[in-house]
Chains A and B, each alone.
Chain A
Amino acid sequence: MNLRTPLGDEVLDLRAGDTVTLSGTIYTARDEAHLRMMEEGIPFDPEGAAIYHCGPVVQDGRLVVAGPTTSARMDALTGFLIDAGVRALVGKGGMGPEVVDELRGRGVYLALTGGCAALAAARMSLSGVYFEDLGMAEAVWVIEADRLPLTVGIDAHGGDIFHAVREKAKTQFHQRFNIR
């Protein structure tokens, strides 16, 4: 499926493991930006928005590279965004059980391949910035994305591919090393 922001109920049809592309406006946010938005409010229209967990390298108003950062750092900071209408979180490594619950019936988590910073930047252009005082890595950059290649990591029905893989790994480990 090819998704375009602002997102709506089409995200509810997705299932963990599906391949999608995402186009349109997305907003970067890491730890500091989440804290600032909780305090001062969201500086963009959150209805149907996509948040990108990313601290890019920006030089002379141009995105040099912009791969995903570890999403789990934002586990406890994400609920208010979903409540405000955010429909998609984009990042790497998956998120905790509280976020899986928050996304139920409302939105999805989309995984972008970690380390693929040149690939991501090749499909993005910079169109604005909020909270620039937070610094290059922590500011909210407004990005126009063109067909980002993503995997649905967590769907709106409690499906969580990362959790399933972790549980399987635990079983394998215990079997192989005879741990009861």
Chain B
Amino acid sequence: MMVNPVDPALSSALADATEKALREAEIRLPSDVLAALRRAAAVERDGIARREFENILENIALAEERQVPICQDTGVPVVYLTLPPDVALSPAIFEGIREGVQRATTTIPLRPNVVDPLTRKNTGDNTGTGMPAVHVTPGDRLTVTVLPKGAGSENASRIGMLLPSQAGDIPRFVAETMLIAGGKPCPPVFLGVGIGGTFDMAAALAKEALLLPVDTMDDYEQEICDAVNALGIGPMGLGGDTTALSVKVKRADCHTASLPVAVNVQCWACRRAIVEVER
């Protein structure tokens, strides 16, 4: 049965799911992210870096205990929606997601971070023109995935239109991104790398790569990760073995004359959560 595209119940269900996903993401890190942090903390050799890890792990525990956000930069809402065949893409869906963000801002609470890009006037509720960013893909179930993105790490992200002959330079481009960033994006970081597609697609792939589980890396991802960790930037730029906790790559085919590469930097608080919409 086709769901009514202006169904207010659907809109309300999406608001509930969005609010729930944001609460989960802001307060509790996913188990694969937590495991990556614990693994790195256990093998870190630098004394200062070990203390930084202790603070990070204590902070994660305190956020859950006190039911407060992990970081005061609660980010801007990035939302990924999967839509099953029986649900039409309608304004009601976007309205529901927007309402969920507004509600979460008050109930969690979140810091209002969304402003006009030029006047810098704050909208007050974390929504605005183009915000939340919503990406829709077909799927089996109606789910809302949120990725609240903080500015410190987003500001360190980079895109390059490499030459087709420079495929071998991709690890260098990624390592250079962290060399420039230093301690600013709150390392140890997770890196999403988008390779190929078009200018815009590479950036989208890089962000989607941050949704992938971080407990495995293929040889190529490991090679890039090793190059980044060789820099020794360490937690918070204070030095140490761990600069990147993982590198995940997503690829798309591209024009024979171009090689877009995007690096989306994510701080250690790799916040994401998925909630199935109840309907």
Contacts and interface: CB of A to CB of B under 8 A. Distances in A.
B51 A117 contact: no
Interface string A157-172: 0000110111011101
B63 A166 contact: no
A48 interface: no
A19 interface: yes
Interface in B157-197: 172, 175-176, 179, 182-184, 186
B134 interface: no
Contacts, number: 138
Interface in A73-105: 92-94
Chain B interface mostly helix, strand, loop or mixed? loop
A167 to B, nearest CB: 10
B6 interface: no
A116 B235 CA distance: 12
Interface string B42-84: 0000001001100110110011001011111110000000000
A111 to B, nearest CB: 6
Interface residues of B, number: 45
Given A57-B69, A118-B69, A165 B233 contact: yes
Contact of B111 (A55, A92, A166): A55
Contact of B172 (A94, A112, A177): A177
Given A72-B184, A117-B72, A170-B179, A176 B230 contact: yes
A70 B184 CA distance: 7
B184 A93 contact: yes
A136 interface: yes
A136 B111 contact: yes
A55 B109 CA distance: 14
A177 B175 contact: yes
A165 B232 CA distance: 7
A142 interface: no
A57 B268 CA distance: 20
Interface stretch (A4-12, A37-45, A59-67): A59-67
A115 interface: yes
B231 interface: yes
Contacts of A176: 175, 227, 230
Contacts of B179: 169-170, 173
A56 B111 CA distance: 8
A149 B62 CA distance: 15
A125 interface: no
29 contacts: A17-B48, A56-B72, A57-B72, A59-B109, A64-B68, A66-B72, A67-B73, A111-B236, A113-B56, A113-B59, A114-B236, A116-B59, A117-B69, A118-B66, A119-B55, A119-B58, A119-B59, A121-B68, A122-B66, A136-B111, A136-B112, A151-B52, A162-B183, A162-B237, A165-B234, A166-B182, A166-B233, A169-B232, A172-B231
Interface of B: 48, 51-52, 55-56, 58-59, 62-63, 66, 68-74, 109-112, 122, 152, 172, 175-176, 179, 182-184, 186, 227, 230-239, 267-269
10 closest A-B pairs by CB: A114-B186, A113-B55, A119-B59, A118-B63, A116-B59, A169-B231, A118-B62, A117-B72, A165-B239, A115-B71
Interface of A: 17, 19, 54-57, 59, 64-67, 69-70, 72, 92-94, 111-119, 121-122, 135-137, 149, 151, 153, 161-162, 164-166, 168-170, 172-173, 176-177
